[in-house]
Amino acid sequence: MTENIQSDFLELGVINTLLIDRLTTPGAYLMARDGEDVLLPGPYLTPEMKERTLVDVFLYTDSEDRLVATTNKPVAMLDEFALFTVVDVAPFGAFMDWGLSKDLLVPNMFQKTKFEVGEKRFIKVIYDERTHRLVGTEKVGDVLDKKVKGLAVNKEAQILVISKTPLGFKCIVDDKYEGLIYHNEIFETINVGDKRTAYVKSVRKDGNIDLTLRKAGSKKSGNSDEKVLSLLKENKGIMPYNYKSDAELIKDIFGLSKKEFKRTLTSLVDAGKIEVKDTGIYIKA
């Protein structure tokens, strides 16, 4: 139930706040302020749902293309991206598990490569003007904005990591733009499907955005000091690394760049907390 304001009209693909106009055998008929109504089928009704009260529902179309309401929340709503699982394939497209009774269709024309059952694919939910249905598209480059607005260097952005490439991890930025975090800019574990806060490193002429997980000029020494000390304590106060250790090894073990690792060791040595020898790092009591 909700205390939100009743929606002015029925809107496909998003959450609507509607008034329970009448309860019937098939379910509840929900009404927008303009008088249009939609059925919420019986299985979604709860004892708290009474006539003349408001309820939040998601609107989509059923197998007969009729507008229908559900209290279930889909994997993604209109204009949102998400990682979907392929549950079936047909000559005309693939069906994705949407978290609803009706699966989401990704027509062949919106696929980059052939889909197979069990695969996970990043999809954006869009409105298909031809069929007047909600469908999915894998061709996110076709629906992303190339004219970046409101994102300056070092500005915070919300990202969704969608794929790993030879250069780095491709991301969707603020659900609007395409971005990339280069491998040599990553000093922590990152996976496809992650949702994170990142920072704009640069906006390229082609509209793509270079990203970093760390804000330029931010002071991380305290955090890295604590990270190294914590790992030392977990390893009985001794770890077989020093200033000469391999950069990739440092990145894998400590999640730090070689430069930051060396700076952290020096900081901890100066603070009298560790000792660095040829044989490794030793915590001081």
Q: What is the pLDDT of residues 157-180, one digit of tens each?
A: 999 898 888 999 999 998 889 899
3-state secondary structure at position 125: strand
Residues with Cβ within 8 Å of 178's Cβ and at least 6 positions away in sequence, in order, are 140, 141, 144, 170, 171, 172, 207, 208, 209
11, 48, 12, 14: which is closest to 28 by C-alpha? 48
Q: How far apart are CA 204 and CA 212, in angstroms?
A: 14
The vertex-227 CA angle with 223 and 230, nearest 5°, equals 135
Q: State which of 37-41, 154-158, 223-227, 261-265 shows the largest mean pLDDT.
A: 37-41
Note the pLDDT tens digit of each residue in 90-129.
999 999 999 998 999 999 999 988 999 999 898 999 999 8
User: Which range among 36-40, 76-80, 89-93, 183-187 shows the weakest confidence by mean pLDDT?
Assistant: 183-187
pLDDT at 274 over 50: yes
Residue with tokens 């179309």: 61
> To the nearest whole number, what is the mean pLDDT of the chain?
88
Give me the pLDDT at residue 218, please: 54
- Predicted confidence band at 221 (pLDDT cuts at 50, 70, 90)? very low
Q: What does pTM read for this prediction?
A: 0.67
Chain segment 123-150, per-residue pLDDT in tens:
999 999 888 899 999 887 777 888 888 8
Q: Which residues of 87-122 are buried (b: 16+ CB within 10 A; e: fewer)?
A: eebeeebbbbebbbeebbbbbeebbeeebeeeeebb
User: What is the mean pLDDT of the segment spanning 32-39?
Assistant: 95
Q: Decide if pLDDT at 45 tops 70.
A: yes
* Confidence tier at 216 by pLDDT (50, 70, 90): low
The pair of structure tokens assigned to 217 is 């000029």
Amino acid at 209: I
Summarised one tens digit per residue, pLDDT across range 242-262 is 898 888 888 878 878 888 888
Cβ atoms of 245 and 278 within 8 Å: the answer is: no
CA Rg, the chain, in Å?
A: 26
Positive/negative CA dihedral, 142, 148, 153, 157:
negative
CB 257 within 8 A of CB 212: no
State the pLDDT at residue 52.
93
